[in-house]
Amino acid sequence: MSRITIIGAGGMATAIGGLAVKAGHTVEVMSRDATKAQALAQKLGDGAMTGTFGETPAGDIVVLAVPYSSVLEVVRQYGRALGGKLLVDITNPISSNLKGFVTPVNSFGAWEIVKVAPADSVVVKAFNAQFCHVLARGPVPGYTLAVFVAGDDVNAKARVYAFIESLGLRSMDTGSLEMARSLEHVALLTLGLVAHSIQHTNFSLGISLLD
């Protein structure tokens, strides 16, 4: 099993951390608010610990589980401490009116992270298209939750696939990191469904393989 570092202590950090600990991974929780990091580590139980925000993460995989509004600042603050790390971007740069994105024209969230991360780190997009409480439930009878993945580094993606599969979820490769732009649109699509069609967030988007 792997050692996973999660930067953040909110709903997605709780969901991914909970599944990871259950799967036998060691989880390091880092947060600007040390009290929240400690509370989450205690909630996750055996296999979880806290790290000091801004210092070199212990994990082989670093999950950026903070809102997009703060992720670029967080990555800048860590700086070289993220050098050589596999960074999993789960963020969505969606505007407050839920009608578009806050990223520059012709860019997307994952690419903005690449631009501020150390050159020897690798960014892979994953987990951004699921609601945290749905993800926290993990596998359910008769349905395997799909986690869409995008990235340019084949070996890094393989490590992310293995992590996802270890959680009892289905990893689905969508292609290069450029496809992260489309995955961010998928997240916006889910919010549109909530507002105009489904009226709640107890659902997930996935793939049905037909015979």
Summarize pLDDT for 121-147 with one digit per residue, the tens: 999 999 999 999 999 998 788 888 999
Threshold 0.85, pTM exceeds? yes
Neighbours of 20 (CB within 10 A): 26
* Closest listed residue to residue 31, CA positions, set 23, 22, 43, 46: 43
Average pLDDT for 83-95: 98
160 falls in which pLDDT band (50, 70, 90)? very high
b/e sequence 62-77, b meaning 16+ C-beta within 10 Å = bbbbbebeebbebbee
- The pLDDT assigned to 211 comes to 73
Maximum distance among all Cα pairs of the chain, rounded to whole angstroms: 51
Position of tokens 């989880």?
27
Confidence at 24, pLDDT banded by 50, 70, 90: very high
Question: Which domains does the chain possess?
Answer: 3-198 (3.40.50.720)
Task: Work out the average pLDDT over 174-183.
Answer: 98
Q: What is the mean pLDDT of residues 43-56?
A: 96
Per-residue model confidence (pLDDT) at position 151: 98
Average pLDDT (68-95) is 98
Mean pLDDT of all residues belonging to the chain: 96
**What integer is the mean pLDDT of 167-186?**
97
Question: In this structure, are residues 149 and 161 in contact, taking their beta carbons and an 8 Å threshold?
Answer: yes
Helices (H), 117-178: 132-137, 154-166
Q: Average pLDDT for residues 106-121, to the nearest whole number?
A: 98
Q: Is the pLDDT of residue 201 over 80?
A: yes
